[in-house]
Amino acid sequence: MADDEIILSELSDDELVQQMHDDLYDGLKEEIEEGTQILLERGWAPYKVLTEALVEGMRIVGEDFRDGILFVPEVLLSANAMKAGMFILRPLLAATGAPKQGKMVIGTVKGDIHDIGKNLVGMMMEGAGFDVIDLGINNAVEKYLDAIEQHQPDIIGMSALLTTTMPYMKVVIDTMKEKGIRDDYVVLVGGAPLNEEFGKAVGADAYCRDAAVAVETAKDFMKRKHNVRIS
Amino acid sequence: MNAPAVEVTETAHRRSGGRLGRKAMRGAPIASFPALIRQIPAYQMVPDEAVELIHQESLLILEEVGCEFRDDEAIALWKAAGADVSETRVRIDRALLMELVSKVPPEFTLNARNPERTVRVGGKNSIFVPMYGAPYVRDLDNNRRYGSLADLNNFHKLAYMAPALHSSSSVICEPMEIAVPKRHLHIIHSALKHSDKPFMGIVTSKERAEDTMAMAGIVFGEEFVRDNPVLVSITNCNSPLVWDATMLDAMKVYARSNQPLILAPFALCGASTSASAVGAVAQVNAEALAGVAFTQLLRPGSPQIYGQFMVTVDMKTGAPMGGTPEAAQMMYLMGALARKYRLPWRTSGFHVGSKLNDAQAGYEANMLMHAAILAGANYIWHSAGWLEAGLTCGYSKFATDCEQLVGWYKYAGGLPFDDFKEAMAAIREVGPQGHFLGTQHTLEHFESAFFMPSIMDFNSFEQWKAEGAKDHDTRGREKARNMLADYEEPKLDEGIAEGLKDLIARREEKLPDTIS
Ligand code: B12
């Protein structure tokens, strides 16, 4: 069916949600914005729109990305469409006290300019509904601390691709410890020369080998955080 | 009908010393081939007009978009030279650009601490250089783990022993156990101690580049290294169109001492360039030319190496790939541009994405090295060891690459006609239906006529099975192990050896143990 034949507002709720999954898959930003508005107008709770239409749609995208059916540029387009839906939902979610998807500050550490991997992680996190603040490259510890203070994130992400800069992650984590704020945040680290062991050695909560694992891990930590709050 | 089982024609009648003599002759290590002098034409894949079109587009990029130089001194130099500068963005008009580029000599001599290993780079002269930068090694027992100083020493030893390698590189793998602020000292020391071939510099900070120069000064003489190339360093452009402060700092140290830099952007095509092979070349050419031109502001007439290291990106993950056809095609384009500018140029070869020294590695490596050779590259670097897009250096891969380079050295050296007459005589001697295995001509030429790799296996199935049915990866590791067992360290003047140790000790006292 050609897409111009579909009038979103004429679809039933179920059909519309299905269509939004397809539109996310196809990376159609405006259609996602429209679909999000329609569901809200029909009285859907913002959190229900988020989880059933957007997050579920991106789960499918993530699965096909993992299986090599979708490619990076296509996933970025999907993530961008998701972000547009999130933009509408974010204030409403906050107002209704819905559980937060989570906020992440991410940056490449001091002395390092590699950012292709970090950018991918940032975009995939946004695609999963996270609020992402990207500090760019070459970040000294002060930059992370300032960002923590200003944005109050749930997760700190650090990227390094050089064996000469990856030890700097420990500098950041140690400083957080000194300030007594280390345990208030989840610290994720990544970059090709790192590994699980290194992540542990510098005191990170997790090392993630790629963007998909980063999203899964971040979601996991957010879930645990919510559970802790409830109990 | 009556052909004898083995035909032996009259052979030269002389004693060779029997078994021992022959063993000595065959076992004698050849320490190094001279730089390859190419005797085959460079292959141009596209017509001259296409090369010209790309050139013009590169000039337009630098005039209209410009290139970032993120360093105050670099900006001041560009301003003084008359470029159009706004903050860190430098727009360079074609006249200024090409005038600077034309100052670079088309060839230069790269001095080794052993003069017999000194090589020419540029024009028809090409050299093969082992890989650089691997955090991991795939070791002699086939384990993947972080590299150590012992591994680095081993790779420098292998580089020294490999006849077709003309350099020891520097950080073939990272000695991860050494504190980062002190690591560079041990990397350079290892290269200088275990090999007498040319080597590469450290670029990760100005201070480390200066330490490299100080160590080179001890070996070659402080005076000498102020003007004569003894090491080559890689400074990467951060594509698209950014030269950052770290790289510019290293350039200043090296170019001012007449030490060549490689201005060959490492581009992940599709991520750091457009998803078009020709589009990517136009961009990378602009970046490389801007870098080359900048070195001539630092020291006019200093030797430099233009070029590229372009790989395509795996759109499934964003990771760099190895031997794709486009990577090979882009080499041909850059080669044609290099000849147009009369610049020595670098490309990679044997750089693969494979995790193991397996079939994938073989196909990838061959696709790229064949192109590097036919494209006429002068500094063929990442020619040994490279696996996993540069994350790992493999012993087996290293040994295989070194052996295959002997083959490529021969290939590019052209076809000799010097024994053509004798060969024609041999066919007359044997006539129809005979064979040549016992002729005088064969006896005289068989050792050099055809490439005889030792890691490749051409035995009968039964023989191969009897020897353990070993796959290529295993045989490569065995070869590396055997080479290391035979290694003998090249002589190094005692005063120089002490001087290096002193310098390292002095610097280590000053340098911290952790980065901050
Ligand atoms: C592309 C590249 C470059 C580009 C960078 C472009 C850019 N904008 O990023 C350029 C050419 C500029 C470059 C420069 C240099 N590079 Co470089 N580079 C690479 C290369 C080939 C690929 C990196 C990459 O982008 N991969 C693709 C992405 C998608 O993968 P990724 O980064 O690993 O990210 C994924 C995961 O790791 C994870 N992840 C990453 N970050 C994070 C963060 C978090 C929080 C999480 C959860 C997950 C996560 O998810 C990502 C997506 O799936 C690697 C080799 C390699 N195979 O990795 C060398 C490599 C890292 N570079 C290397 C070197 C040496 C350099 C230079 C020093 C070279 C030089 N002499 O000029 C300079 C350094 C410049 C500087 N000032 O820092 C070495 C490092 C060696 C070492 N021992 O430290 C390597 C290994 C190559 C080599 N063998 O020489 N490089």
Query: Chain A window 187-206: which residues touch B at a Cβ cutoff of 8 Å?
Result: 192-193
Do the Cβ atoms of A71 and B136 come within 8 Å?
A: no
Rounded to a whole number of angstroms, the distance from the CA of B381 to the nearest CA of chain A is 20
Task: Give a yes or no: residue B461 inside a domain.
Answer: no
Q: Is A112 in the pocket of ligand 1 (CB under 6 A)?
A: yes
Residue B473 lies in a domain: no
Q: Is residue B504 part of a domain?
A: no
Series of mean pLDDT values for 10-residue runs along chain A (231 residues): 77 97 97 98 96 95 92 94 95 89 96 95 92 97 98 98 97 98 98 97 97 94 80 44
- In-domain check, residue B450: no
What integer pLDDT is reported at residue A231 of this predicted model? 44
Residues facing A190 on adjacent strands: A159
Q: Taking CA B409 as the corner, what is the angle to CA B407 and CA B411, rounded to the nearest 5 degrees?
A: 70
CATH number of A8-96: 1.10.1240.10
Whether B484 maps to a domain, the answer reads no
CA A62 to chain centre: 12
DSSP B234: E
Task: Give the residue from B178, B316, B391 with the most A CB atoms within 10 Å of its CB, the best one to mutate.
Answer: B316
ipTM for the whole complex: 0.89
Domain interval for residue B199: 100-412
Whether residues B516 and A171 touch (CB distance < 8 A) is answered with yes
At residue B357, the pLDDT reads 97
Closest residue in chain B to residue A211, using alpha carbons only: B317
pLDDT of residue B119: 97
The rounded radius of gyration (Å) of the Cα atoms in chain B is 24
Residue B30: inside a domain, yes or no?
no
Helices (H), B342-471: 359-374, 395-412, 420-430, 440-449, 461-466
Residue of A218, A226, A220, A16 whose CA lies nearest to A103: A218
Residue B132: CB within 6 Å of ligand 1? Answer: yes
CB contact under 8 Å between A163 and B174, yes or no, is yes
Enumerate the residues of chain B whose CB falls inside 8 A of the CB of residue A193: 135-136, 391
Specify if B276 maps to a domain.
yes
**Does B513 reside within a domain?**
no
Q: How far apart are the CA of A150 and the nearest CA of chain B, in angstroms?
A: 23
Residues of A in contact with B272 (CB under 8 A): 116
- Cβ–Cβ below 8 Å for B204 and A162: yes
Query: A65, A66, A72, A142: best mutation site toward chain B, by most B Cβ within 10 Å?
Result: A72
For the Cβ of B492 lying below 6 angstroms from any atom of ligand 1, the answer is no
Which of A120, A164, A171 is the closest to B318 by Cβ? Answer: A120
HEC assignment per residue over chain A: CCHHHCCHHHCCHHHHHHHHHHHHHCCCHHHHHHHHHHHHHCCCCHHHHHHHHHHHHHHHHHHHHHCCCCCHHHHHHHHHHHHHHHHHHHHHHHHHCCCCCCEEEEEEECCCCCCHHHHHHHHHHHHCCCEEEECCCCECHHHHHHHHHHHCCCEEEEECCCCCCCCHHHHHHHHHHHCCCHHHCEEEEECCCCCHHHHHHHCCCEECCCHHHHHHHHHHHHHHHHHHHHC
Q: Which residues of chain B have pLDDT under 50?
A: 1-7
Provide the whole-model pTM: 0.94
Contact A142, A99 (CB under 8 A): no
Q: In angstroms, what is the span from residue B311 Cα to ligand 1's centroid?
A: 13
CA atoms within 13 A on the CB side of B19: 0
Q: How do the domains of chain A map onto residue ranges?
A: 8-96, 103-225
What's the number of domains chain B is made of? 1
pLDDT tens per residue across span B75-132:
999 999 999 999 999 999 999 999 999 999 999 999 999 999 999 999 999 999 999 9
Give the pLDDT confidence score for residue B2 in this predicted structure.
43
Do domains A8-96 and A103-225 share one topology? The answer is no
The CATH number linked to B245 is 3.20.20.480
Nearest to B46, CA basis, from B246, B330, B285, B286:
B330
- Nearest CA-CA distance, residue A112 and chain B, Å: 9
* CATH match for A103-225 among 3.40.50.280, 3.40.630.40, 3.40.50.620, 3.40.190.10: 3.40.50.280
A171 contacts chain B (CB < 8 A): yes
